[in-house]
Structure 1
Amino acid sequence: MIFSKGSPLATKFAYNMLEQRDEGSRVNSLLSNVFILADFLRNEKD
């Protein structure tokens, strides 16, 4: 499961969201989460 407790992916997501304080960075953070997820899924497929 992708979002199991202690999963590195979930940790990256949480860290990204916590790091951002203002609206603009939150959007950037969301975008970077999408790329993290895409990267993760690509690696899972191999």
Structure 2
Amino acid sequence: MAKIYSKRKLAKKTMLPKKETIRLILQYSCALNIIKIGNMSFETLAN
């Protein structure tokens, strides 16, 4: 059985995100606001 697994090569696939995914992450990061007061931090989402 070891011979079967050694013959297979792992295929490298370059995975690229969709434009919608990038847009969602950028919109979320723009809407996220982190306020630090002392040693505490508060996260607010402006949506």
| TM-score higher than 0.5 | no
As a proportion of its length, which structure holds more helix? 1
More strand by share: 2
TM-score, structure 1 as length reference: 0.36
Higher relative contact order (CA closer than 8 Å, sequence separation 6+) = 1
